[in-house]
Amino acid sequence: MPRDVGSWTKNKLKILSDYLPVYLKATTRAMERIYIDGFAGPGLNRVRGTGKIVDGSPLIALDAKAENGTTFTRLFFIERDEASALELENTVAQRDTQRRCTVIPGDVNVELPRLIERLPKRSPTFVFLDPEGIDPQWTTLQKIAGWKTELLINFPFGMAINRNPDSGKVNAYYGTREWRPLWESTSPGRIRRLLDLYKNRLQELGWRYTTDADPVVTGTRGQRLYYLIFVSKVEPGQRIMKWVQERPDSAGQLRFKF
């Protein structure tokens, strides 16, 4: 059964669908190209209010193709909910004619480190982390930092961190308590500093290249739900994502908000 999502999800998926084909073209000469989805879901989404069924991130990645025909060599989809993982496996089986995909049931904080250990360190690997809560743990990112990875991360400030300031999960998410005084601040730049703390810590792990602005995904009433953070270990990734962020949103009219 498709997962019910808000209309704002289309903007997030638009960024992914715009970026991946260009990423694939840029990595054409690599022996292989790998995609990992840490919170894959059932594969299909139903947009609330319209009932429209749209592809989720796993299917977008599976169908992604550069203009020269390059695709991902292997794709791995991690999903904690057993029913969603089974549904995703059935949905992917209908499209994955080349058997490139593997669905992994389980917690991303357990399964992602296990998976990355089996992959070549030099293979370009795109990791999409789109949690519904305060995840992944910082130790999970530390364990994958030695690989040639690019990350697109849902930073769930409005949806999770802002609602759970006393949760130990926030400490695990940041890997430090430095976030707390920033959160308690009443100054207008509080959110920016919380984002910068997270991005600076990613930079310390080797993801040096990022975009100056981070798209903010808002709800139907304009409330800030989460931000999309992109980081890469190579400059071309940064350049490609900046180009993507300047493109129209899913409605085809407005640029992404920051």
Residue 155 has pLDDT above 80, yes or no: yes
Distance CA 170, CA 255 (A): 31
Mean pLDDT (the chain) is 90
Rg (CA), the chain: 17
- Model's pTM, two decimal places? 0.93
Q: Residue 91 carries which side chain, given as an amino acid letter? A: T
Which of helix, strand or coil describes residue 48?
coil
Beta bridge partners of 231: 151, 210
Mean pLDDT of 188-204: 92
How confident is the model at residue 165, as a pLDDT?
66
Higher pLDDT, 247 or 126: 126
Percent of the chain with pLDDT over 90: 66
Long-range (24+ apart) CB contacts under 8 A made by 120-124 are: 120/31, 120/32, 121/146, 121/147, 121/148, 122/148, 123/30, 123/31, 123/32, 123/33, 123/34, 123/147, 123/148, 124/23, 124/27, 124/30, 124/33, 124/34, 124/148, 124/150
Burial of residue 94 (number of CB atoms within 10 Å: 0-12, 13-18, 19+): exposed
Higher pLDDT, 249 or 186: 186
Long-range (24+ apart) CB contacts under 8 A made by 50-54 are: 50/7, 53/2, 54/9, 54/10, 54/13
Residue 243 has pLDDT above 60, yes or no: yes
Q: Residue 164 carries which side chain, given as an amino acid letter? A: N
Would you place residue 252 in the very low, low, confident or very high pLDDT band (cuts 50, 70, 90)?
low
Would you place residue 1 in the very low, low, confident or very high pLDDT band (cuts 50, 70, 90)?
confident
Would you place residue 258 in the very low, low, confident or very high pLDDT band (cuts 50, 70, 90)?
very low
Higher pLDDT, 184 or 163: 184
How confident is the model at residue 213, as a pLDDT?
83
Poorest-confidence range of 133-142, 203-212, 243-252?
243-252
Q: Which of 3.20.20.140, 3.40.50.150, 3.40.50.720, 2.30.110.10 would CATH assign to domain 3-245?
A: 3.40.50.150
Poorest-confidence range of 24-38, 85-99, 107-121, 157-171?
157-171
Higher pLDDT, 156 or 229: 229
Mean pLDDT of 208-223: 82
- Nearest Cα residue to 37 out of 127, 109, 118, 146: 127
Geometric angle at alpha carbon 168, from 8 and 113, rounded to 5°: 75
How confident is the model at residue 42, as a pLDDT?
93
